[in-house]
Structure 1
Amino acid sequence: MTSNLTLVGRAGHRIAADAEGPATGMPVILAHGGGQTRRAWKKISTLLAGHGFRAIAIDLRGHGDSDWASDGAYDVADFASDLVAIAGKLDRKPALIGASLGGLAGLVAEGQLSPGSFASLTLVDITPQMEATGVARVVGFMAAHAREGFASPDEAARIISEYLPHRPSRKASAGLAHYLRQKPDGRYYWHWDPAFIDGVMRRHAQNGDLGDHGRSELNTAAMNLSLPVHLVRGGSSDLVSPEAVAHFRNLVPHAAYSDIADATHMVVGDQNDVFGAAIAGFLMQTHAMSDAK
């Protein structure tokens, strides 16, 4: 059974979360990518709960049902500090699974801000070295309709289909409603603070990557990782190349690695079952089974 939680970020922001699995299970924080919500982890949370883990899927600040940052604080370090604050309030050290922006935040949280905050770190299609074309595509999609919104959910569904041409085209589903909010003008807008994408666009113009941290800083954070690490790449990702994987594994020689065939940067949505099996296997192998049963 899924329960709703309200957690608190570093600056007092209310962080919305869903928890699934036994209260006594080892906690696993699930941090989504930029522009998404905690709903992205729905099937994965159920899978992990079935293995005895306490899956805690959060909405990052400025996303979904979490508070917006009135001061526009949406740097990677801000998201990272929220993860550290949340982890510190749990009854035991959690594992962290972060996709894209959530993974960058996890890397900075554990490798720079507060080493030792997490029991393990899984990075989903994100490394310090990112392909410029892939980054530009992700940023372009998020920015394209951030301000003007959509006339209808079906229009939003069409835009998503154009962004993900490898998936079957479909009309707006009930699930899409969780990613949109309707304003008094009757139009539908992404379920996140427009100031978030403004910051992403500004930083992308400055350094070409997704966040405020440059590659040298991210490389240093990666080299500082001493906890168990799992890198998961989408086999067809245009953001993380095989060369970027080799670079990361040189920085973090002890890291486990999974390559998910027929998945793009959107690994979780593209190959949910295969991805789920990979992360569940890593968590069960890494952490004491007495904590996960």
Structure 2
Amino acid sequence: MGAGEAKRPLAVRMGASALRGFIALVLFILVLLLILRGLAAWREGEAMAPAGTSYFATPAGRVAARVAGPADGIPVVLVHGTAAWSGFWSEVADHLAQRGWRVIAIDLPPFGWSDRDPSARYDRVTQAERLSAILGVLGKPAVVVGHSFGAGAVTELGLRHPEQVRGLVLVDAALGELDPKTEAPVAKVMRAEPVAQLATSAIVTNPNALEPFLRSLIERKEQAHRWIPVLREPMLRAGSTSAYAAWLPNLFTKQDGALSRRSASVGAIKVPVALIWGDADTVTPLPQGKRIEALTRARSLTILPGVGHIPHIEDPAAFQAALDQSLKTVTKEKE
């Protein structure tokens, strides 16, 4: 310590030391995040869509899908949640196809094998219009099943295009805060591209973080491991981290002009609704499901015991039975 520094008051010296320590910590974190972003780019390549992938043309780009079941069956469209894709519905799709439904499990952009939008139009309204374009190709009303964040676009579709929807099945739906007074601060932060890129590469497309992240969403932790290869498969496409980062602000936004963010609009929905919910869901807890049940005058709310936020991978048999009953409920004419 120099003589001049020794003469400075102790509190000042301690404050300067703390500041240097804080700056060093920030620099360390930034370097670590930049390394993670570089590793994410290194992992991504020219991964190919699975054999049998179909594509639907929409005004906002092609949407990839897995199609199964008899061509004359009632269409059931399956819409996944955050960072997932149609592969997460594989067991459900096989189950429904065997029961005579025409199953269309889609990859909601930018996830899966769908086209990434150069203009990053991933808001709930645009996603609903993508779904509407797909239903237009199908040519007849469909039952639409939406899980978690995907349920927002599905509900928006039901509100904007009820003539295309035979019924909705919402699974642990993440509709977010209804009637928000202000925008979420984190949404504003995530609109800064460097922040979103670093957050995505650290958490979403980082293979070392993916399993802990998935385990945090579910109650039956042992089910996470076998689904990690499925979840990662489309993340190996070139540009995945950048595309997911462009989408990320939509996960947190509260104000994007969507009807499904207003309780009065949700309460006026015209299509039949059924709900399926895990009673151990900590992401969208059961009270949220009960509020949606009341608002939509849902025909049923099936509660799955000991199940968290992703019922179709946690307890496939119980979920498939619940889905069978929910599909019957929303397609049955009211007496």
TM-score bucket (shorter structure): 0.7 to 0.9
Larger radius of gyration: 2
The RMSD of aligned alpha carbons is 3.4
Unpaired segments of 5 or more residues in structure 1? 289-293
- SS of the residue corresponding to residue 89 of structure 1 reads helix
Pair 1:181 & 2:230 matched? no
1:193 Cα deviation from its structure 2 partner: 2.7
AA aligned to 2:139 is D
Q: Which moved more, 1:56-65 or 1:158-167?
A: 158-167
For the 8 Å contact 1:130–1:240, the answer to whether it is kept is no
Contact conserved, 1:96 with 1:106, CA < 8 A, in 2? yes
Query: Could you tell me which residue of structure 1 aligns to residue 57 of structure 2?
Result: 8
* Percent of pairs with identical residues: 21
Q: Which residue of 2 aligns with 1:119?
A: 166
From 50, 55, 58, give the equivalent of 2:98.
50
Partner in structure 2 of residue 23 of structure 1: 71
1:148-167 correspondence to structure 2 within 5 Å: 148=202, 153=207, 156-161=210-215, 164=218, 166-167=220-221
Aligned residues between the structures = 268
Deviation, 1:271, is 1.7
Residue 291 of structure 1 aligns with which residue? none
Instruction: Give the CA deviation at 1:44.
Output: 0.4
Q: Is the 8 A contact 1:76 1:104 kept in 2?
A: yes
3-state SS, counterpart of residue 145 of structure 2: strand
Contact preservation (8 Å) 1:32, 1:38:
yes
Partner of 2:266: 222
TM score, norm. by length of structure 2: 0.69
Distance 1:4 1:151 in 2: 22
Pair 1:101-2:149 in alignment: yes
Kindly indicate whether the alpha-carbon contact (under 8 Å) linking 2:55 and 2:62 is maintained by their aligned counterparts in 1: yes
- What is the CA–CA distance in structure 2 between the aligned matches of 1:170 and 1:122, rounded to whole Å? 27
Name the counterpart of 2:316: 272
- CA–CA distance in 1 between the matches of 2:316 and 2:165? 24
Q: 1:75 aligns with which of 94, 119, 123?
A: 123
1:38 correspondence with 2:61: no
Q: Deviations over 1:15-57 (max 9, x none)?
A: 0000111111111000000211111110000010011001100
- The secondary structure found in structure 1 opposite 2:91 is helix
For normalisation by structure 1, the TM-score amounts to: 0.78
State the partner residue of 1:88: 136
What is the one-letter code of the residue matched to 2:116?
Answer: W
Q: Structure 2 matches for 1:246-265, cutoff 5 A?
A: 246-265=290-309
TM-fit CA distance, 1:124? 0.8
